[in-house]
Copies of this chain bind each other. A is one copy, B any other.
Amino acid sequence: MTNQAFVANLYHAPIKGTFDYIEQACIEIDGLGMITQVLSPNHSDYTQLVEQHENNSSLTRLADHQYLLPGLVDLHTHAPQWPQAGKGLDLPLHDWLNQYTFPLESSYSDLTFAARIYPELVDTLLAHGTTTAMYFATIDSAPSEYLARVCKEKGQRALVGKISMDEKSMCPDYYVESSTQQALSDAEAFIQNVNEIDAQQGLVYPVVTPRFVPTSTKALLEGLGKLVSHYQCHVQTHASESDWARDFTEQAYQKTDVELYNETGLLTRKTVLAHSIFLSESDKETIKSVGAGIAHCPLSNMYFADAAFPLREALDKDLHVGLGSDLSGGPLPSIFHAALDAVSHSRVREAGTNTHIMEQRGEANTRVSFVEAFWLATHGGGLTLDLPVGVFKPGYCFDALVVDSNTQGSQVRVYDDLDSEQDILEKIIVHTTEPAISSVWVNGRKVK
């Protein structure tokens, strides 16, 4: 592949809390899908660059009603739970796991079942503009490796984890590792095999994935920590998602989840902690000093977290944080929707809910803006994963999507005489549904 370029009206968020809008920006990418230049029309090289690609027939011009945005990053999603997205949300977390989730996840040991679900899920996420996804798969290695191959084939940037869970008292007997030793050797083989799948392009990555503390023996956590140290791979797990989960670790270890993960070698620059609702001040310091990150999953939190994640504080403390759909604890596959939910949920947190309380109903000054939510969905996600995605800059991957306000089925209504640049961005976040996303690229490859 040779270089190509795009001329487009572009939104991105290089700096948290603000956005850049560049009308008729020219983005050049190389044959590997990396961005080499991003020029505004007033740059002295702009005309030459555009003309050069025009002459080479390597220029794509987007229309005025098409907006180029960085691809969305989903930091936390359970691939096997896709078929149950939207159902069973009335149950508490523990019952939901045992009645719905574990039986469903175990059925992926049948690869024909996996083949029925995973390709459709990856297509769905790509269609919603999710160019990078961090997936929990299942306990079984074969279907989890299959998920990684599906992502590779369809061109989605994916971080895939085979789940490790060996604490027999907390797992159903049909869905638990046969032994800690087996769990560790399977986890290691999974890392090697996924590295094998994608030795060349850096599109698909293995992730060490202890489900959460209650389903892990300490020996498993320690063994996985050694794998992480050896293979320098990503880690994902759940941290302090609910009162129950927090209390479990406190009672079993007299520690917080963050302390336990840190001591077992599982907290690194490439660790993503889902939820992290109940963090102590010391936990936050630890996360910050290590450079680990947090997947904020607002819709899922509304159902299962027992409280609101202190997102405002995480942003102000410059923690690495982005958004997750948490399929299917959160039922919707759209990271645009997660951004809307992040704003809405922060407003509810700020205001409080209880009409019987007249003073200090909520927590003052904890709202998050749409512009911040846009950063979370893109740049924040890339930063959390320590991957060069989520912003249009030289040296970053060209992972991008087009929101087209004029295409069939688009719910994004732009009124040129009424809407400012920021208004349009806010409307894109709030109103973009799948049909409005007319094109998606990952690493420069068009995948929608």
Contacts and interface: CB of A to CB of B under 8 A. Distances in A.
A363 B370 contact: no
B433 A433 contact: yes
Interface stretch (A11-19, A132-140, A345-353): A345-353
B370 A89 contact: yes
B307 A353 contact: yes
Contact of A363 (B332, B333, B353, B411): B353
Nearest to A424: B87
B344 A423 contact: no
Nearest to A328: B430
A354 interface: yes
A252 interface: no
A246 to B, nearest CB: 10
Given A302-B347, A303-B344, A361-B306, A423 B87 contact: yes
Contact of A352 (B120, B347, B351, B353): B353
Interface residues of A, number: 58
B369 A363 contact: no
A316 interface: no
Interface in A298-331: 299, 302-303, 305-308, 310, 331
Interface stretch (A34-42, A202-210, A413-421): A413-421
A83 interface: yes
A232 B93 CA distance: 50
Contacts of A272: none
Nearest to A243: B358
Given A302-B347, A345-B348, A363-B353, A85 B307 contact: no
B435 A409 contact: yes
A409 B124 CA distance: 10
A207 B266 CA distance: 62
B427 A86 contact: yes
A153 interface: no
A355 interface: yes
Task: Please classify the interface of chain A as helix (H, G, I), strand (E, B), loop, or mixed, using the class held by over half of its residues.
Answer: loop
Total copies of this chain within the assembly = 2
A89 B426 contact: yes
A363 B278 CA distance: 19
A277 interface: yes
A119 interface: no
Interface string A230-256: 000000000000000000000000000
B83 A354 contact: no
A60 interface: no
A306 B360 CA distance: 11
A431 interface: yes
Contacts of A418: 83-84, 104
B433 A434 contact: yes
Contacts of A347: 302-303
B86 A355 contact: no
A419 B85 CA distance: 11
Nearest to A240: B355
Contacts of A423: 84, 86-88
A45 interface: no
Contacts of A303: 344, 347
A362 interface: yes
A173 interface: no
Interface in A424-447: 426-427, 429-431, 433-435
Given A86-B426, A433-B434, 8 more contacts: A83-B418, A86-B427, A86-B431, A87-B419, A302-B345, A307-B352, A349-B353, A433-B433
14 contacts: A85-B413, A85-B427, A87-B423, A88-B423, A89-B426, A124-B411, A277-B355, A302-B345, A306-B352, A307-B352, A332-B430, A349-B354, A411-B434, A433-B434
